Each structure stands twice: as C-alpha cells, then as structure tokens.
C-alpha cells in the first residue's frame, strides 16, 4: 500500500512542490519515497513495503527509460502475469507486483486493465506516446483524485496532496455539500472542492496532447444467472471465496484479520486460517458499559473456534471520542460515517502487530445483507401499483407537505422505479431542502443522490429488482462510504486493508447468483450463511446484524454538547449561510428536550463545520 501523486504542468513551481505533495501522503507509505521528472511530468511516491520489501521502490522505470510507473495497492495475480510476460521476452529486475505494470503496459497497452486483478490506483507515464495514463480498480477499493485547472493536470491518492500544488483553487463545490448533507458522504465524481474530482471505480483516464479523456473498463454484470443449486452452489461459492482469500494472503510482512463477531469477517478469518495452515492474528474492538452494543465476546468465540492469536482492544465510549480530533486530518472532506472513529482506533491497535489485515467489507452489497433490501422488495408491488401509469397518486403525493411526502412508500410511489431507491443512509432528504437550506444555498445546488442512483439502476443488466438495488449500493455507498472509511482509517496508521469479498472476479461471479440465493422473505445472505455453517458456530452465523454504532445521542447531549452548540451557533455554521438559523436552533432544541432524536443530522452538521473551520476554503453563496 502506498501513496501516489503527480502532475503534468509547465508551471515552473510544479517540480518544486512535488516533495511537499508527496510528503502529505507519508502516512500511506512511511518506508520510502521516490520521484521522477520528465519535462512537464512529475511523479511522486510514498511506499509501504509489503511485497519484495528490500526491492521494488518506486517509481518503477522500464529498461529503456520510456515508461515510468507509480502504483498504490496490490496486484493479486502478478505471479501469473509475470510468467506470461517473461515467456514473451520481458526481463524483470524486482520480485514485486508493481513491475508487471511496467512490462504489461509495454506488452498490452490499455488491455493491461483486462488482465490485472487487485486493488489499485496507478499512473503510467509513456514518454514515447507522451501520455499519462491513470486507472482505479474495479470496485474502488483504492482512491484516486485528480484536477484539471489552468493548464495543469494534478492527481493523488488523497485530496491533501493536490491542495499543495501551487495553482490549486480551494473553492467549495456546493453540490458536494448538498450531497454530503443528504447521505453523509460525497459520491463520485464529486469532491468537496469544485476543481477536484474522484476517478470512478473501474475507470481509466488519459492526458495526452493537452487533452483529457476517460472511460470505463469494467462494471458488474448480473446476467446470465448461474444454474447452480443446493450443495453444488455452496461448494462453488466456497471455492471462489477461498481463491480470493488465498490471493490476498501473499505478503512479506505480518498479516492479520479484523474480526467483528459477525458472519462476514468471521468467515474470512476461518477460511484464511484453513488456507494458510497456521494461527493468524485477529483483531477486534470491544466497548465497556451498556451505551454501545459490543460484539467482542462473539469475536473472542470465533477466535477460539479457529485457533487465532486474538487481540481485543477494550474501550469506553468516552475513550473513542479523542479520535475525533484527527477526523479532519484523516478525511480531507466532510465525511459523516461515525463508524470511522472505532475503525481508526482498531487500525492503530492492529498496526502494533501486523502490516496487513483482511476485512469483511462488501459482503452485504454482494449477498444482500441489509434489511432494507427485503423491505424494498416487499414494498415494490404496492409502490408500483400506486405509481402505475395513469394513477393520480404521483401527482397528489408531490403536492403533499415535504415531511409527509418523504415517507418511504409515498416517496417511492411518486417516482419511476429507477428513482425509488437512492442508497443509504438518508440524512437531509432532498425533499426537505426548502425546510433546512437557506434560499441562496437551495438555489445554488442541483445535484441529488437520486440522480446518481438512477444511473446505476439503469446500468444493471438484470430483470431482478434486488440486483438493481445491490448495484446502486455497490457503485455509491460501497466505494464512497465503506471503502473510503476503511482506506483512510487504516492508512492513517500505515496499515494495509484487503477485502476478499471485493475481488472483482469473485464479485462478478456472485452477481450472477440467483436473487433467491441472497434474499428470500426476511432471510438475507442465504448462500453465504450456508457456507459459513461449515466453518463457524451456528449461533454466530445466524446472529442479528450489528456493527459499530456509537452513542451519538448521548455524546451530543453531554460530552460534545458545548462543541456542538458553538459549532452550530452564530459564530459557526450559521454564519456560512448554508442552513437556516431557525432550522438549526429547532434541531438543537428538539434534540436537547428529547422531542426528536436528531443525532445523525446534528452529527453531519458538526462534522461539516469542523471541516470548514479546519480548512478555511474559498466559499461564497
């Protein structure tokens, strides 16, 4: 795992700024740095040594000096590609995975993207073609930001690197603010800065002859469906998941597993132990007291069951809060997923023992693990009936007060099927903008998470409504919330996180499973649970889903009460002119008096103002 950054620019200050840009990513790669310059092109790299520890420092340069590569992530099938390239006459000088990008680009060009499997963000400078080529992995495990401004192209693993480029504007993107308030994260391609964009998962970007072009090289396909049934389906799933895990166990440094006590990470730990043939280190976070649901006892049971070396970090909720002071440093833009707090602390704890961890992210989006899916499917017949062609209901619903019209069933009935589901969560619904946003802010924004969700609904090639819902979350919630949380929280402590459920071959195979193998009635993750029953205690497999849920309501009413009132007061968020002052005061009053639990809304507002106060961006309405 590493940090990458660079530019194409004739600005004379560009090369001088590259060390500072690269140093901004030192947490992603504390072991080494490297630089490359060829005229108007500069590349910077920070390395976390995982494979070929003594070699493979970057940038990696071709023997004829025509190709330079910087790379963040891991290429899991690099050994097979290395053999294929060696058979074609290529000579390797390192034992690492990154060098296959150098020779693979020379051999296959852009078709390289059809060959590689892994989590990655990379940049290739091809001197002969005068082309800078960037790509981001299939599902967006690794981040990649870029900006094209005033004749300069700049890119990096995190926003903080781009902000150190001398001509980078710091103007806020108001659409990004509105999207953040709607769903607690900023969806691709937006970033909080108007000049900076995220490269979407499964996309490439080319800078050549003063022009920028981009395209998609992969997206999930949900058809045709497998004909597998019964034990054969479980066996096939076992083989596929085991293959993904085995590819991710390759490392020349200590490796462990995050185990929450739920099925997803516990199954990864069990299979990884069986495949490796040794006791692995497992890590979990537990909470003292009754304010937060804790799964540390279940995680300990899993550890005993598989025979791992278990490490449990026990904290009180109050001991989690100090991590909030690093929030703005770790996340360069407003990010409201409160589970990042314990994830950051768990990563810090694990880094004392290992350099790489496997995690269970992605299983819910692959196998339909959220209760929301079953609810949406059960409601689909009713909402389709209410919103049928010729029905007056959509017309009538749109004229209801926003607080009524945002009811899940009514809101869905008022929209075509492609716009009924807009991923999770929903904080400040777009229908409530008139109630909460100032008039200037409301008239300055047009983006909605529903617009983004509709794109991914229409992208799905399956007749199954469930598959459409899964694809929306796999393309929005997964990369921009869950994976962003894991990447930033772990890399803040120089810890590499690998996600076996998100190997793109495994994901693509699972996408073609029958919907009934995932969700049926109130049952969820059905096929995955059948596999887990082979490796885990039955009660662990069938435990209700939990997750990291911090006591936000109590924190905002006690420990953070003073900070909240100041941040949202006249000297804080109210002076930004984004949220109506009377709306902020009503939220605070109703929450304090326990009239309504506005914890999530107050939390995302608090995070937003803390970001404004820390970064002081260019901003006006």
What whole-number percentage of the chain has pLDDT above 70?
Answer: 95
Euclidean distance between CA atoms 505 and 512, whole angstroms: 11
Burial class (CB in 10 A: 0-12, 13-18, 19+), 114: exposed
pLDDT of residue 28: 97
Q: Look at 9-18, 144-153, 541-550 and tell me which has the smallest mean pLDDT.
A: 541-550
Q: Look at 182-196, 308-322, 559-573 and tell me which has the smallest mean pLDDT.
A: 308-322
Q: Does the structure show a pLDDT above 70 at 14? A: yes
What crossing angle do the helices spanning 230-248 and 504-511 adopt, rounded to 10°?
A: 160
Active site annotation includes 2 = yes
pLDDT, tens digit (0-9, with 9 covering 90-100), for 131-160: 999 999 999 999 999 999 999 999 999 999
Query: Which is catalytic among the residues 2, 183, 460, 510?
Result: 2
Q: Does the structure show a pLDDT above 80 at 409? A: no
Alpha-helical regions (H) of 518-598: 526-532, 538-541, 552-557, 561-567, 581-592
State the DSSP code for 131.
Answer: E
pLDDT of residue 424: 80
Strand 281-287 to strand 255-258: parallel, antiparallel, or no bridges (unpaired)? parallel
pLDDT of residue 427: 94
pLDDT of residue 1: 67
Q: Look at 139-153, 226-240, 422-436, 473-487 and tell me which has the smallest mean pLDDT.
A: 422-436
Q: What are phi and psi of 256, to 5 degrees?
A: -140, -170
pLDDT, tens digit (0-9, with 9 covering 90-100), for 439-466: 999 999 999 999 999 999 999 999 999 9
Q: Does the structure show a pLDDT above 80 at 411? A: no
pLDDT of residue 291: 60
Euclidean distance between CA atoms 286 and 315, whole angstroms: 6
What whole-number percentage of the chain has pLDDT above 90?
Answer: 80
pLDDT, tens digit (0-9, with 9 covering 90-100), for 33-55: 999 999 999 999 999 888 777 77
* Per-domain residue ranges of the chain: 2-172+189-216, 254-318+332-367+475-540, 552-615
Two tokens at 568? 């949202």
Query: Could you tell me the strand order of the sheet in which 309-315 lies?
Result: 309-315, 281-287, 255-258, 356-358, 496-498
Q: Does the structure show a pLDDT above 70 at 387? A: no
**pLDDT (mean) for 284-305:** 84
The CATH classification number of 254-318+332-367+475-540 equals 3.40.50.620
Q: Look at 297-311, 351-365, 410-424 and tell me which has the smallest mean pLDDT.
A: 410-424
CB atoms inside a 10 Å sphere around CB 562: 9
H/E element holding 208? strand 203-208
**Does residue 470 contact residue 363 with C-beta atoms inside 8 Å?**
no
Alpha-helical regions (H) of 249-370: 263-276, 296-306, 317-320, 327-330, 340-351, 363-367
pLDDT, tens digit (0-9, with 9 covering 90-100), for 389-401: 666 766 566 667 7
Q: Which CATH number fits domain 2-172+189-216: 3.40.50.2300, 3.60.20.10, 3.55.50.30, 1.25.50.10?
A: 3.60.20.10
**pLDDT (mean) for 75-93:** 96
Task: Say if 2-172+189-216 and 254-318+332-367+475-540 have the same CATH topology.
Answer: no
């Amino acid at each position: 795992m590493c940090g990458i950054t660079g530019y194409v620019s004739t600005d004379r200050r560009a090369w001088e700024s590259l060390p500072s840009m690269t140093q901004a990513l030192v947490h992603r790669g504390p072991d080494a740095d490297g630089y490359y310059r060829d005229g108007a092109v500069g590349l910077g790299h920070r390395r976390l040594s995982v494979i070929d520890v003594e070699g493979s420092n970057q940038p990696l340069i071709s023997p004829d000096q025509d190709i330079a590569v910087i790379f963040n992530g891991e290429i899991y099938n690099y050994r097979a590609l290395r053999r294929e390239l060696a058979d074609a006459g290529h000579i390797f000088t390192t034992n690492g995975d990154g060098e296959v990008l150098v020779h693979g680009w020379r051999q296959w060009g852009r078709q390289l993207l059809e060959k590689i499997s892994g989590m990655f963000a990379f940049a290739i400078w091809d001197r002969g073609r005068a082309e800078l080529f960037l790509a981001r992995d299939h599902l967006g495990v690794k981040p990649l930001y870029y900006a094209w401004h005033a004749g300069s192209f700049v890119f990096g693993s995190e926003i903080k690197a781009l902000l150190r480029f001398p001509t980078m504007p710091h103007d806020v993107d108001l659409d990004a603010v509105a999207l953040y308030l709607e769903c607690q994260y900023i969806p691709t391609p937006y970033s909080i800065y108007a000049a900076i964009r995220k490269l979407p998962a499964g996309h490439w970007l080319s800078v050549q002859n003063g022009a920028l072009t981009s395209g998609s090289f992969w997206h999930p396909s949900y058809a045709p469906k497998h004909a597998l049934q019964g034990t054969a389906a479980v066996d096939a799933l076992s083989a596929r998941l085991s293959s993904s895990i085995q590819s991710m166990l390759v490392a020349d440094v200590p490796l462990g597993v995050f185990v929450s006590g739920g099925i997803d990470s516990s199954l990864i730990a069990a299979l990884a132990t069986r495949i490796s043939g040794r006791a692995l280190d497992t890590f979990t976070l537990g909470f003292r007291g009754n304010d937060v649901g804790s799964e540390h006892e279940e995680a300990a049971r899993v550890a005993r069951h598989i025979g791992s070396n278990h490490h449990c970090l026990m904290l009180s909720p109050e001991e989690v809060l100090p991590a909030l002071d690093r929030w703005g440093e770790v996340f360069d833009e407003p990010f409201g997923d409160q589970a990042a707090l314990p994830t950051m602390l768990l990563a810090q704890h694990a880094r004392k023992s290992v350099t790489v961890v496997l995690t269970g992210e992605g299983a819910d989006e692959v196998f339909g693990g959220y209760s929301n899916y079953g609810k949406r499917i059960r409601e689909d017949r009713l909402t389709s009936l209410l919103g049928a062609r010729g029905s007056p209901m959509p017309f009538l619903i749109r004229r209801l007060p926003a607080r009524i019209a945002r009811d899940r069933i009514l809101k869905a009935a008022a929209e075509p099927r492609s716009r009924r589901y807009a991923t999770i969560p929903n904080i400040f619904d777009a229908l409530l903008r008139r109630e909460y946003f100032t008039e200037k802010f409301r008239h300055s924004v047009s983006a909605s998470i529903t617009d983004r969700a509709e794109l991914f609904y229409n992208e799905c090639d399956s007749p199954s409504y469930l598959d459409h819902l899964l694809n929306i979350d796999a393309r929005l919630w997964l990369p921009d919330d869950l994976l962003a949380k894991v990447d930033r929280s772990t890399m803040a402590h120089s810890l590499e996180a690998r996600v076996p459920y998100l190997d793109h071959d495994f994901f693509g195979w699972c996408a073609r499973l029958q919907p009934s193998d995932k969700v049926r009635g109130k049952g969820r993750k059905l096929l995955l649970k059948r596999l887990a029953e082979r490796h885990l205690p039955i009660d662990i497999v069938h435990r209700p889903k939990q997750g990291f849920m911090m006591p936000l309501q109590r924190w905002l009413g006690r420990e953070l009460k003073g900070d909240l009132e100041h941040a949202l007061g006249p000297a804080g968020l109210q002076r930004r002119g984004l949220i109506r002052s009377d709306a902020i005061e009503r939220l605070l009053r109703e929450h304090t008096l326990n009239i309504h639990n506005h914890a999530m809304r107050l939390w995302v507002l608090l995070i937003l103002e803390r970001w404004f106060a820390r970064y002081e961006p260019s901003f006006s309405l």
